[in-house]
A and B are shown apart, each in its own frame.
Chain A
Amino acid sequence: MDTPPVISTVNLVKIYQDGGVPVPAVRGVDLRVEPGEFVAIMGPSGSGKSTLVHMLGGLDVRTSGEIWLDGDRADTLGESAWALLRRRKIGFVFQFFNLVANMTVADNVELPALLAGASPREARERREQLLGALGLADRAGAAPAQLAGGEQQRVALARALANRPRLLLADEPTGNLDSRNTRDVLKLLGQVHRDGQTIVLVTHDARVAGLADRVVSLLDGQIVDDGALPVSRRRPRGGVGDVVELRG
């Protein structure tokens, strides 16, 4: 039997109410993501990207349409069932981190793995590996409030990956990073993707989107483009020098 897609949505719609005025944010999205795929969602602000990814993680309730995760209907679940599903299957990187304030960085990262049933040793090893890859090994004992925004964002990514989730969802995971820290995040995303991690992330950072297999573009709550990145026509061996020169 074929493995079902990790995500499948059918005519997904979200309409917010703004003082009694309906404001459509997502207007009929059909999206299918296969296991191991890396999908970047792009589009101008207000195009519905964040709303879409929040609905996929059960953090926002859909107005109509269907969400299927791993072949199971998810949009009909209640809040606690979603919480359980996230704990088991989904790592989520929020735009504003949402770290637990009164826990250390290390505990923030280990918690999801422990909740999912990993042994303390496994959780610690995974945490050390992730924080190391993100250049945060020496911040393990700090409290989130002691960290700069870019550091908190990287901790949030480590936490989301701690569990080796079936699905990584992220909303602008490099939005607060300088270019050096972005490089660490890119490297880690590339690495977990090569290891088979399914990733769906919202980004306007082209470096992040350039790692994806496929880009979905949203405009006014609808998908206006969905496809694989082409293999570039100019790809000289030994150096992509003329890619640089192109801009000259």
Chain B
Amino acid sequence: MKKPLRNQEIVWRIEKRRQSEALDALEAGRDVDELGTVTLIQAGVMHQLNLVGGMVWERCDGHRTVEDIVDDLAGEFDVERGVLKNDVEIFINDLLQKGWLTDG
């Protein structure tokens, strides 16, 4: 079972203001798919993750399995667990390929 871990060379932070904007927008029923809430800097290039991406990233501490992360988020969002698990696995695999995560 994978326990994804963030690459230690990546500088990142949660943009608290953006994250709270995203949460407010969700409360208002708006879509926050495009709103960046976590900034990553890797090899001089800046990237952003959207709300759910950032929540997955935060939880990639090398101790939690993908299942643990899915369980955590399934309680927060209105989504079928199977759909969420599939999306999270695709996202994590993408980041593993980019080298942003390692399999801890």
**Is the pairing of A and B real?**
no
